[in-house]
Structure 1
Amino acid sequence: MIDIRFRLPDGSERRVAVAAGTTLLDASRDASVDLEGACGGNMACATCHLHVDEGWFDKLPPPSAEEEDMLDLATDWRPTSRLGCQVKLNDGLNGITVDVPRSSLLGT
């Protein structure tokens, strides 16, 4: 199992353990984080946009050209931004921390 820590805009945290191969988008749902993900993980929007903690960012595979194009649409973009639907978790990411921008939460 891979442990993930989601830091929410209000300063609270949610933690969850998920199986390898799970995306950050699906893990957020398991952690009861209201990450929008309007396209259902099909990389057709940027509503599952997350900020990966700097200490973890370089451990991720680079984003595809398509993901980079979608990130151009993300509100609150940062150099460590990724789409939650495109980050598949593996054992090397055990303990990863991600920040959830307010703009990616449902109803905001």
Structure 2
Amino acid sequence: MIIVHDRKDVRHEFDVPEGKALMLQLRPKKIGIIGLCNGNAACGTCHVYVEKEWLDRLPDPDEYEAEMLDEVAERRENSRLACQIEYRADLDGLEMTVAHRS
């Protein structure tokens, strides 16, 4: 299960299967994750803020995600792209907030 706060700060809980990028699983839920580039870390429309206590459990951003994060509006220390986070069992309870777009 993951917890996602949408742009209006409404909390949503979703059961998601392992082995798929979160963007692909969250886009159909209509909570603000768009994923225009279909998971290629090239658009930033799946920008999320991962709760800080979860960051150490995620792999570091690769060079493509890091470059895209440099371009997104309102980047924070805990900014990530949902297209680059693959759900695993040890991420059960992962909490994030959909970033505002300007």
Calculate the TM-score normalised by the size of structure 1.
Answer: 0.86
1:94 maps to a residue whose letter is D
Offset, 1:44: 1.7
Offset, 1:8: 1.5
Secondary structure in structure 2 of the residue aligned to 1:56: helix
Cα distance in structure 2, aligned partners of 1:54 and 1:61: 13
Identify the residue that residue 23 of structure 2 maps to in structure 1: 25
1:53 maps to a residue whose letter is E
Identify the residue that residue 35 of structure 1 maps to in structure 2: 33
What is the count of residue pairs matched by the alignment? 102
Residues 12-91 of structure 1: matches in 2 within 5 Å? 12-91=10-89
1:80 maps to a residue whose letter is N
**4+ residue runs of structure 1 moved beyond 4 angstroms?**
none
Cα distance in structure 1, aligned partners of 2:45 and 2:80: 11
Change (3 A) 1:30 1:91: farther
CA offsets 1:39-77 (integer angstroms, 9 cap, x no match): 111222111111000111111011101110111111110
Structure 2, gaps ≥5 residues long: none
Offset, 1:93: 0.3
Structure 1, gaps ≥5 residues long: none
Offset, 1:27: 2.4
Identify the residue that residue 95 of structure 1 maps to in structure 2: 93
- Aligned-residue RMSD, C-alpha: 1.4
Calculate the TM-score normalised by the size of structure 2.
Answer: 0.91
2:32 maps to a residue whose letter is D
Cα distance in structure 2, aligned partners of 1:8 and 1:80: 16
Q: Percent of pairs identical after alignment?
A: 32
